[in-house]
Amino acid sequence: MKDQILRATERAPQWLRNDLASKDAGVRAQAEEILATTIANALANGTGAPAED
């Protein structure tokens, strides 16, 4: 599980990393939700890539 989370966070695009560091609470909250979804998808699908719809 740790490896899947690590792969998911390593693959996060730069704009998401920037948004996570934002001083704007709304921007940061949205980025946190996106990262949480990415990690959840990685755990569900066994990859670090976003799920394909």
Domain residue ranges of the chain, discontinuous segments joined by +: 2-45
In single-letter form, the type of residue at position 19 comes to D
5 compared with 26, residue with greater pLDDT: 26
If we measure between CA atoms, which residue out of 28, 35, 34 comes closest to residue 9? 35
This prediction's pTM = 0.75
Over range 45-52, report the average pLDDT.
Answer: 61
Over range 1-12, report the average pLDDT.
Answer: 88
pLDDT (tens digit, 9 = 90+) per residue, 10-46? 889 999 999 999 999 999 999 999 999 999 998 998 7
